[in-house]
Structure 1
Amino acid sequence: MSPDEYCQQKAVQSGSSFYYSFLFLPAERRRAITALYAFCREVDDTVDECTDISVARNKLMWWRTEVQAMLKGNPSHPVTKALQPHLAPYELDGKHFQAIIDGMEMDLDQTRYLDFTGLKRYCWHVASVVGILSARIFGVTKDETLQYAEKLGLAFQLTNIIRDVGEDARKGRIYIPVNELQQFQVPAADILNARHSENFEKLMRFQAERAQDVYEEALALLPKSDRRAQRPGLMMAAIYRALLDEIQHDGFHVLTQKISLTPIRKLWLAWKTYVRG
């Protein structure tokens, strides 16, 4: 199996919504973004699938070393072998790959965030940086496009947090800021024990409205000259916003179930965004 085939398999097996936006890219950019996605999955799985924190730290340290090897042109893992040829053409910065690993390491050190400022820092590492790297692969001519991508990454992560509240709680993690739990009078114990309430719905509605606002802020930053190149991100935004609407329509029953869109609907939303240009 070639490095590119390994990354393709990783993307397909994940069932991620991101995969649908990759389908519309030219072959070379599609290989690059698939390799980036596979890198993110690999380091994320290092934390999520490892029950021993010390082992997870050692694995993340290995990935830090592997990123350095990739930057020097000597990668050993299929993912970094697939990524390495795309670093120079798309001006992918090594510090951003290390920042993603920093974000994964934050999950080993922290399971709560006191306020939105702290949560935004975490989101920057695990999502906004990925947005910046992705935008470079899609094609950038203006700095405002990178600002758009950074903010869009934040919006995606806020959506993930809403969707995965129950799943994260079962791992002992609550990403909703502590001061907002207090503001809406939702004890952490309610989330950890999957107790749905009217106050919980109000809290989640607040989270969803903020996420939608961030989507609007991001889209307002995208220059018209780069809109066509950035269509994969716009496809993802359409899919994720539809998911957010679905979660809200369902009454935010995210503590006991993971709400998702069907593959057909994701493909339809991606296609509709693509033809709209």
Structure 2
Amino acid sequence: MNSDDYCQQKAAPEGSSTYYALRRAPAPRQPLLTALYALYRELEETVKKTSDPTIGRTKHAWWRSELDRLDRGEATHPVTQALQAHAADSGALDDAGRASLLTLVDGFGMDLDQARYLDWPGLARYLDQTGGAFATAVARSTAVNRADASAWAAPLGSALLLAERVQDIGDDARNGRVYVPIDELQRFNVTAADIINRKYSDAFSDLMRFQTERARRSIDAALAAIPPAERASQRVLRAQAALAQARFGEIEREGFRVLHQRISLTPIRKLWITWRTR
């Protein structure tokens, strides 16, 4: 299997949301963007699929070293080899691009140190460092003006990661992680144990409604901040935003019953939603 095929299977298997979102990218940039999304998935799995913190930190340190090797043109992993092959003239591996990737790695490193957040400012720092850095890397790869991309891409990335964490609250809980601030759990009279043990209640529905509305507002505000000149260049991130908003609609129709199942969109609906991202 070559590096491009590896990245495709890792990041965007056929039928996945990422698969349809990436199809909105300019064809010459699709291999690079697929590699970036594959890197994101590799880092995410380092955290989610590693129960031993020591092993997780070892893997995290390896990825930092691999980015150094990538910087020297000596990548050894299929994902970084794909990045190395497709990054020319994209800004993905210039000084700002490398900084975004290192910030992304360290953002996932936060997951190795904590599985709970005391309040919204604490969670927001995680969202900014992880989701914001990743969206900046994606946006700069196709942006008309790379220098200004971080200002509007980072908030969108934070909002998209917030949406993902709200929508996947059940999956995260099964990995021992609850990305709802402790003070908000207390405000709605829901405990982390309730979420981990899949306990539904009116209080949980109220909590989810609050989390959903905040994520929706964050996405809408971030989309509105994309400069008109960049809207066509950012079809991938905009498609992801449209998919996230549509998925929230499905979750609401299911009464926020997300603790025991992952509610998703059908492939044909994903295709339709992303096709409309013009």
Alpha-carbon shift at residue 60 of structure 1 (Å): 1.2
Distance 1:206 1:144, change over 3 A: farther
Deviation per residue, 1:142-186 (Å, 9 max, x gap) = 765432221111121111111111121122211100010111111
Checking the alignment, whether the CA contact within 8 Å between 1:144 and 1:222 is kept in structure 2 is: no
Does the 8 Å contact 2:46/2:60 carry over to 1?
A: yes
Aligned residues: 274
Distance 2:161 2:11 in 1: 18
For the residue of structure 2 that corresponds to 1:190, the secondary structure is helix
Matched residue, 1:53: 53
Shift of 1:27: 2.8
Equivalent residues in 2 for 1:16-35, closer than 5 Å: 16-35=16-35
Secondary structure of 2:276's counterpart equals helix
CA offset digits 1:8-47 (Å, max 9, x no partner): 2222348641221111323321011001011111121122
In structure 2, the CA distance between the partners of 1:11 and 1:25, relative to structure 1 (3 Å rule), is same
Identity %: 45
Say whether residues 1:116 and 2:126 are aligned partners.
Answer: no
Q: Does 1:182 align with 2:186?
A: yes
Q: CA 1:48–1:98 in structure 2 vs 1: closer, same or farther (change >3 Å)?
A: same
Q: Which whole-Å deviations, capped at 9, do the CAs of 1:50-98 have from their partners, x for residues lacking one?
A: 2222112111111110100101111111111110244452222212212
Deviation of 1:188 after TM superposition, in Å, equals 2.0
- Superposition deviation, residue 3 in structure 1: 1.6
Judge conservation of contact 1:96–1:129 (CA < 8 Å) in 2: yes
How big is the alpha-carbon RMSD for the aligned residues of Structure 1 and Structure 2? 1.7
The answer on whether the counterparts of 1:29 and 1:138 sit within 8 Å (CA) in structure 2 is yes
Contact 1:142/1:223, CA 8 A, preserved across alignment: no
> In 2, distance between residues paired with 1:145 and 1:56?
31
Distance 1:64 1:87 in 2: 18
* Aligned mate of 1:219, from 201, 220, 223: 223
Residue ranges of structure 2 left out of the alignment (5+ in a row):
none
Alignment-derived partner of residue 266 in structure 1: 270
Q: State whether residues 21 and 270 of structure 1, in contact with CA within 8 Å, keep that contact through their aligned partners in structure 2.
A: yes
Paired position in structure 2 for 1:162:
166
Query: Closer, same or farther in 2 for the Cα pair 1:9/1:187, shift >3 Å?
Result: closer
Amino acid at match of 2:43: V
Are 1:255 and 2:259 matched, yes or no? yes
Distance 1:15 1:38, change over 3 A: farther
1:132 counterpart residue number: 136
Task: Structure 1 unaligned segments of length 5 or more: list them.
Answer: none
Q: Give, as a single letter, the amino acid of the residue that structure 2 aligns with 1:56.
A: G
Which residue of structure 2 lines up, in the alignment, with residue 153 of structure 1? 157
Counterpart in 2 of 1:78? 78
TM-score between the two structures when normalised by the length of structure 2: 0.93
Partner in structure 2 of residue 65 of structure 1: 65
